[in-house]
Each structure stands twice: as structure tokens, then as C-alpha cells.
Structure 1
Amino acid sequence: MINAVFSTEGAAEVLAVVFVGANSTRPFPDVLLFLSILTGVPVQTLQSHYRFFSKQQTLNAADPNLNIGPGHYVVQPNADEDPALPQLGRWANTVSLFPPRSAASSRAGPRPGSAGTVASASNPPSGVSTPRDDDTEASPEAVKRYARFTLSLGLRDRRCVVTGNADPDALEGAHIIPHSWKRQHYWGLPEDIRQTLLLDYQPLCIDDVRNGCLMEASIHAAFNMQYWSVVDEGDGRWRVVAMDKKAPSSIVGQYLRIPDPGSADNHLTYPECFVNPRFLQFHLQSAVFRRMRGAGEDDEGDYDDRDKPLGDVMKIWADEENFGRYVRSGGNVALAVE
């Protein structure tokens, strides 16, 4: 898997390191997309102003067909570039698929990319509770609500949008933006998503079919865990990408199945009321922060003196105790890894 690891002021010559785990290969355009999500630096800027290299090779960032294999890939500005270029050692605004478990856990300053990181700078007003990560309502109204949601998805999708399985006993309605956000009136979501759910998707809001799709139960569970997500190919197709080694291998590289022609109740065709692309983008962004943050295995492990800054960064991001020391010391690398 990919783990993007960022340096600090103490290791300024290493702006970023992309680690691809053992027995893995990745399309390089995906690597650029994930790094762009993590840093907020546009893909075009990464391609034109930064170089990517390992001990064995320098990569051609402009090659759309390039795949990269296991190893560490260092990211640095081109030698003649303006030093005012965006610094990749800075995290972009973090996003999380699920709401925080509690206000206290949010104030504690979770590790960047963790499931407890609030998705927006917007804070809920006082008196708004923060829900659990799942939606465990069991009231009759909740059962009816979910049944209506799943039935509407079934009428549109007819099958699992990932595998094509049409067995009704194997299928579930999957929310893209989790239903648990409703309990806190969507505070903490990016403002454009919040406004879409509250205003554009009335009266169903988060249960609108444009916030869901039909999936097999096991595929749905892996989607909620963000073991997999989807990348926009730019032509209306969404390709499944693995975000964790637990992703079902049979679906990686598959494309979401667009609904067959037909008309929905809102005067749109079924393809027109398929999942909102912004919601799928949000799932991918939050999956990148949660799953690709430098906490994976390191199958090399040995660093010479020249690689010490990289080794220190890996130690910080791969160990919660080291990371805690790093935060408490105000970003002092030496204190974090002593």
C-alpha cells in the first residue's frame, strides 16, 4: 500500500516520501492524486515542479501509464525551482468520513488523518451532540427509513454497483456520507456538502438516493472501513482503488456500474440521479487521510546516515508514542525519536 510520509523542519531536505509496500504496484497518476489530497498542492504543480525518485530510478511524473513498485520514493522540488513553492511537509485540511466520537476527543488534537479528525473548520453550535461513528438506531421509524432508502436504491441500481450481483438477499443500501452525520445536523462536514444535504436534497436529505448505492454486504462493510474507495477517471467512470491491504482484491480496478436507463420520481433519469460525484470525492479524500498517512509496514528498515531524516520521519508517523512526543514538543524531531 501507499503511505505518504511528510518531513518536518528538522528534515527539510526531505519534503515528502511515498512508500509503496511489499507486493504492491500503483498507477503513478493515483500516487499524484493521493499526494495532492494530502498536501493541497495541485497535481499539475506536482508534475511540473517536483521530482520523484528512489535509489534505483527517477520517475517521469508526466507519464500517464507509469506504474511504480515497492519502495520509498522521495519528493523534492526541481533544483532550479523557486523556493516559494508550496511546501509538501504541510498537511492540507484533514477530512474524516465519520463524525468525531466526542467533543473531547476532537479537542485532544487527533493524529492527522485519524478517524477522529473533524472534516471542516466549521464547528457545531453549542448544544449539538457529537454522535458515534455508526448509526445503530433500531426504532420502527429508523427501520422504515432504511427500508425506503434501500428500496429506492434498488429501483435505480438493480444490482451491486461494484460486483454486479443482483441477488436481493445479498444486497444492502450503502450511504456515501454516513447517516450518523444527521444527528449533529451535518456540522463538521465541508460546507458545500452540508448545504447540499440540507437544502438541495430536501426532504430526504442524507437519505436521498444521490447519497447512496446498492452494494453486497461485505463490499459495503469494506467501503465503510475505507479499505477501498473510487477515483474519478474524468469521463464519468469511477475506478475502484485499494486503500488498505484488506480491500477485496476481486474488485480493485473495477468500475462502478452506472444505472440502466429509466425515470425516477424527481423527473430525472436513473443515470442522472446516480451518486453525487462530490460525495464520492469526499469519501476518497477522507480515505486517503485515514489510510495513507505513513503508518504502514516498512519492509526495508535499514537507513544509512544519509537516510536518517527519512528514518526519523518514518518512526514518528508509524508509532503513536513517538507521534505524541512530537506533538507535545512542538514539532521537535530529535525529542520525538529519542
Structure 2
Amino acid sequence: MGGNGQRRLRGVSAVLSLILLAGLGATSAAGAATEGSATPAVACSLSLGSGGARGEHSRQEIRATVPPSITPTWTTEHVYTAGGPWMSSRFQYEPGPAGGGHADGWVAVGDGLYRSQYNTDENQQLVGRPIYRRVGGGWGMFRAFEESQYVDASFDRTNEYALRNQDGTLFRWTVDAKGGWHKAGTAAGFSAVKAMALISKTRTYDTFLANTHSGGLYTIHIPTKLPMKPVVKVVRKSTWQGFDTLIAQGCGNGVLLLGINRDTEVAYLYAVGHANGTATPIQNRGKLPATLTPSTYFRWGYIPDLDRFGGE
């Protein structure tokens, strides 16, 4: 495996932090979902990204009203060649001082995985050419990929996760300061998983929320220490099989969860409280008032210092 591309500088200015929070839907302390509750204030929102067949990258803001509301925000054309990526991690968008910005994330194109980076102007259109750094082949055998980067004032770790199609094996790698990948364990037994979304990341563990083909909804708690031994807990036993894609955004002590059905091109938004097995509160905020045409969907996230999740 190769490198993950240039690390973005941390410790951004307060001005840029405020711009980012305003642009990507921050949750105010007063409006956050409290622990044991699945009721977010309107301030909670999720930035939905998509990579379309024309090679464009788009962002839409989904707010946790009832029913949820959705606002198109921008489309950046010609990021990829026609067809675009078929799998994506979350993407980070960091605003620049002149009104443009920098986008950074992982995509699978063909059989390769690439670190994808590009700059935009004040209208979110390309400036220069996108950069793609290949991390090797064989990625056609995977069906899900996500990056978990946890950063605080004295600590920085990056874990990469991928779920293999053939046998449901979950892979993990750690990434060092120079961008080198290192194997950090595998775990078998996830062949029933249909989709998964990151809901927690701390110094010592990551947690995913996953649905299965039979309809169950589970948390997968993964300690960062070796050996890799996930702990799986049931959240709901049925009715969740319809979603092909799950996307989560932190909201107080829980998350907003978007479930997308590719066959019917519809999506539903849920407020999920702090994970506690079958006692986890889940509130259906309703169906999105939009048709989600076939695309590769992902989450637009914050810079790592601000991209907090406390879903478990």
C-alpha cells in the first residue's frame, strides 16, 4: 500500500473554523440532542455528497426538520472522468482565505483506490487539475471503505477500514505521519452487513452503525489496540434491510443517520441517540423531499480537529 497524500495543516484560524462550521451545518450546544434522547434541534444537519456519472462532485445540506429539508449548495464539474468513482470515503472541505477551498478524500475508481484532492474557486469550480494518488489495486473486491481520523491537541491517529465482498472480512490499516499504510488487523463474520457508517471515534476506539440484509441494525465497536476484536451489539432486530447506503453526522451525543435505498431512489433521515444496544433511541425525521438518482454518496465532513462523533 502507498501513501495517503499530503496531510492538511491543523490548527486553522478561528475565522476559517467558523466559516467551515457555518458552511457545513454545525450543531450548537443548546440545540444538540441530549444523551438518551433522539430529538435534535433544527441546528443539526448533514452534508450529503455525491459523485455523479458525469464526473461531478455535489453537496446538499440536509437539515433535521420534520419532515427533513434539503438545500442544494454546489456542484463542482469535471472532478473525475465520465463514470466517476464507485466507492468513496467521507470528503473534507477546507475553505481558503480567498473564498475558494480544498477538497480531500478517498475514492475507488476501477480496481484502484486513490487519494483525491482538488482546489476550487469562490464558485466551487475547479482551480487547476485534480490530484489522484493511487494506493494499489485489488479494491474491486471491497464494498465499503471509510477513514477515521481522530485529532486533538496532543494526539493524532488515522485508521482506514474496508469491508470485503467475498467473505465479509473487515480490514483495518493505520496510517503513519508520512502517509504509509500498516496492517492493523482483520475481523471475519460480517458477510451479512449491507451498509455501515462511522458514528464514533475516540483515542481508543471507533464505532460503526451497520444494517444487514435480514433487516437488523447493529453497532460495531472496534478498539484501536491489537489484536483487532470488534464488539457487536444489536440495536434493532428488523426493518432496516431496505438501505443500501448509510451516512451519519455527529449531533450532540448522538448522530443524524441518512438511509438511502438505491432501487427506489428515496432516503429517510433519523435522529439516533447515544448508542445503548436495543435501548438506543431512534426517531424517524421523515422522508427526504428529493429523488436520489443513482450516484456514489458520501459525507462532506469537517477538518479532523472539528469532525467530532460521539454516537457511542
Q: TM-score, normalised by structure 1?
A: 0.29
Q: TM-score, normalised by structure 2?
A: 0.31
Greater strand content:
2
